[in-house]
Amino acid sequence: MKRMCTSLMLAGSMFAGGQAMAEGLLQWQNNSLTYLYGKDFQVNPRIQQTVTFEHADAWKYGDNFLFIDKIFYNGKDDGGVGSNTYYGELSPRLSFGKIFDQKLAFGPVTDVLLAMTYEFGEGDTESYLIGPGFDLAIPGFDYFQLNFYQRHTQGARAGDNVWQITPVWSYTLPVGKSNILIDGFMDWVVDNDSNSKGDYHANLHFNPQIKYDLGKALNVGEKQLYVGVEYDYWSDKYGIKDSQYFKTDQSTTSFLVKFHF
């Protein structure tokens, strides 16, 4: 029942978003393609190339974010999915401030939302997340979101009442004739002692990107072409507890090129 309710809420949000776009209620949207190359990954093969499509938008009653990774393993197949795989997340949020046409602001909070995420891909990856979200006004940041989710993890990793805290941010730093953009997210799956099966361990995934606005520097378009790096730290990756027999604590840096359209 929990899975069905969450699925319906996700579907309803996206349907409403589609209706709003059809009625001209879309406020803004942005799409991008990113190429990543990195080494020293854990659990999966150590060398990976990734092509990522991202979509973000805001509409009359909330906002949406979607990304899909196509991951290629170099030199060694993954035991579960072979030489390549895919993974994605769909994250719609419904704004109570927009829905009720009220200013829900207190302290640094500028809006209160219902945040949802659907995680999908090959293998044992499916999860449904739902909980409160907050938009924050923090000096210097382009935006800062703080979402609290209850995770409903499917398959062999299933566990109930596991909470995840997810901040998302963007910060622009002027440098010479261009800018450096620092943005990213953190997924912190907190204590899961209530999970009697113990198959999905608490974990922390920290994933910032540091990017130079090359398009602005070359006078070919601001906020369109970036080069830089992505740092990926993931303790107890995939909720698998790190041990001396199987290392799951990941710390790796990838080169990236990102194009917005």
- In this structure, are residues 223 and 215 in contact, taking their beta carbons and an 8 Å threshold? yes
CA distance 261 to 4: 35
In eight-state DSSP terms, residue 29 is: E
Q: Which of 3-17, 190-204, 237-251 ranks highest by mean pLDDT?
A: 237-251
Residues 19-37 pLDDT 10s: 555 557 999 999 999 999 9
Q: Which domains does the chain have, with CATH numbers?
A: 2-260 (2.40.230.20)
Give buried/exposed letters for 164-202 (b at 16+ CB in 10 A, else e): bebbbbebeeeeeebbbbbbbbbbebeebeebeeebbbb
With beta carbons less than 8 A apart as the criterion, state whether 92 and 64 touch: yes
Q: Does residue 91 have a pLDDT over 70?
A: yes
User: 109 phi and psi, to 5 degrees?
Assistant: -75, 130
CB 248 within 8 A of CB 236: yes
Q: What is the pTM of this model?
A: 0.88
